[in-house]
């Protein structure tokens, strides 16, 4: 069966070869080749001729003050009539979307209380930058622009950081993330600003951190809201951590005068994680364990009460008390 199909394929291929070797098809192929060659020569000759053509370039308004919002009716493109060879015109067409005509807003003359004046001379200067010296600029539209804007409401809004940190073994974040500035001035409609009690940074994820980090992070802004500054600086304190054990007495400061409280044991050991730089600073005076007398009364049935730290520095983390509970006896003297 396979040999049959192979034989049929070879026969078809042979017939096709014979067909194209016929004199008539040779002449047709030669004719098509000359026709294509003539078209190429014609096209190349056409590209060398001069043409007048209109090209549209996008307009971009730069350095707009944060407290302004530009009107939607302002022109977004500029239409330019030029005279140039066909090849160069093709280049302009292909690159027009990326050739932005930049207009710097700061320094423009005031046309009215809510508009600025962009003169013909300013536009001509910017337009000329995007064409070769051989190109003749016949005209462009618009010739002048009255740039309209509206003033926005503003509000000083606190900034919160979205940071995920994974430190190297033996290192920890040793304090709060410091945001500078801690609040930014936002501009937008009154309705949009009323809904913003805080503004968050863009999410940041850090891994294998072993030192204090300082990052410049963009703000995560809702649509229609503009900031005075688009970024804030985050300082993330990271230090090498160590462990320290301290023995502490267990206190009951509100014991009635006619009661005697006996605890077993009367002191416990506290194991703390802390930054290496704070090792000498951590003493028993900075830690405290106080159990209210009411807790002893509530647990008289079992004669045991849980123990926990009631005061510690902010830079102490994961304190472990041993033992976690103590036994006690309350004696009442008349």
Catalogue all structural domains in the chain, each as residue range(s) with its CATH number. 50-151 (2.170.120.30), 153-236 (2.170.120.40), 243-332 (2.170.120.30)
What pLDDT shows up at residue 311?
95
Please say whether the beta carbons of 127 and 118 come within 8 A.
no
Please say whether the beta carbons of 219 and 175 come within 8 A.
no
CA nearest 118: which of 82, 67, 75, 81? 75
Which strands make up the sheet holding 50-62, listed edge to edge?
101-104, 50-62, 77-85, 136-141
Tell me the pairing of strands 153-160 and 183-188.
antiparallel
Cα gap 53→19, rounded to integer Å: 48
pLDDT in tens, the chain (334 residues): 545 445 554 555 555 555 555 556 566 666 566 556 655 554 555 556 677 888 888 999 999 888 888 888 999 999 988 888 777 777 777 777 777 889 999 889 999 988 999 999 999 999 888 888 888 888 999 999 999 998 889 999 999 999 999 999 999 888 889 999 999 999 988 888 888 899 999 999 999 999 999 999 999 998 888 898 899 999 999 999 999 999 999 999 899 988 899 999 999 999 999 999 899 999 999 999 999 999 999 999 999 999 999 999 988 988 999 999 999 999 887 6
The conformation of residue 94, written as its DSSP 8-state character, comes to H
Cα gap 146→134, rounded to integer Å: 31
Cα gap 165→207, rounded to integer Å: 6
Kindly state the tokens that stand for 98.
């990326």
Angle between helices 2-21 and 23-47 (to 10 degrees): 70
User: How many Cα neighbours within 13 Å face the side chain of 287?
Assistant: 27
What ranges in 96-149 are assigned the alpha helix state H? 120-128
Which strands make up the sheet holding 238-249, listed edge to edge?
171-173, 238-249, 267-275, 317-322
Kindly state the tokens that stand for 248.
């502490």
Q: Within 10 Å of residue 149's Cβ, how many Cβ atoms?
A: 18
CA nearest 241: which of 312, 174, 287, 166? 174
In the three-class reduction of DSSP (H, G, I as helix; E, B as strand; rest coil), residue 15 is classed as helix
Cα gap 173→274, rounded to integer Å: 10
pTM for the predicted model, two decimal places = 0.58
Kindly state the tokens that stand for 177.
């993330």
């Amino acid at each position: 069966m396979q040999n049959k199909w192979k034989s049929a394929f070879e026969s078809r291929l042979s017939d096709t070869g014979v067909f194209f070797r016929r004199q008539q098809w040779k002449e047709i192929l030669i004719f098509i080749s000359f026709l294509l060659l003539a078209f190429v020569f014609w096209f190349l000759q056409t590209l060398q001729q001069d043409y007048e053509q209109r090209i549209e370039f996008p307009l971009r308004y730069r350095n707009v003050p944060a407290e302004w919002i530009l009107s939607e009716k302002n022109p977004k493109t500029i239409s330019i009539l030029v005279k140039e060879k066909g090849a160069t015109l093709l280049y302009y067409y292909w690159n027009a979307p990326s050739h932005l005509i930049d207009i710097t807003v700061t320094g423009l003359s005031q046309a009215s209380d809510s508009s600025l004046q962009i003169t013909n001379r300013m536009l001509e200067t910017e337009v000329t930058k995007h064409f070769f010296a051989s190109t003749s600029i016949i005209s462009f539209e618009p010739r002048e622009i009255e740039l309209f804007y509206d003033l926005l409401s503003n509000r000083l809004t606190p900034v919160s950081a979205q940071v995920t940190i994974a430190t190297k073994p033996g290192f920890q974040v040793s304090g709060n993330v410091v945001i500078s500035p801690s609040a930014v001035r936002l501009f937008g409609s009154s309705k949009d600003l009323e809904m913003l009690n805080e503004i968050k940074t863009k999410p940041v994820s850090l891994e294998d951190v072993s030192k204090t980090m300082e990052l410049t992070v963009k703000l995560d802004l809702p649509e229609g809201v503009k900031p005075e500054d688009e970024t804030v600086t985050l300082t993330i304190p990271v230090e090498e951590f160590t462990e320290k054990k301290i023995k502490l007495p267990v206190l009951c400061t509100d014991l009635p005068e006619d009661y005697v409280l006996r605890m077993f044991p009367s002191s416990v050991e506290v194991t703390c994680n802390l930054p290496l730089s704070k090792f000498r600073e951590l003493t028993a005076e900075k830690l405290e364990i106080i159990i209210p007398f009411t807790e002893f009364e509530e647990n008289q049935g079992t004669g045991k009460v849980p123990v926990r730290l009631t005061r510690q520095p902010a830079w102490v983390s994961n304190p472990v008390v041993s033992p976690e509970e103590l036994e006690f006896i309350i004696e009442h003297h008349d």
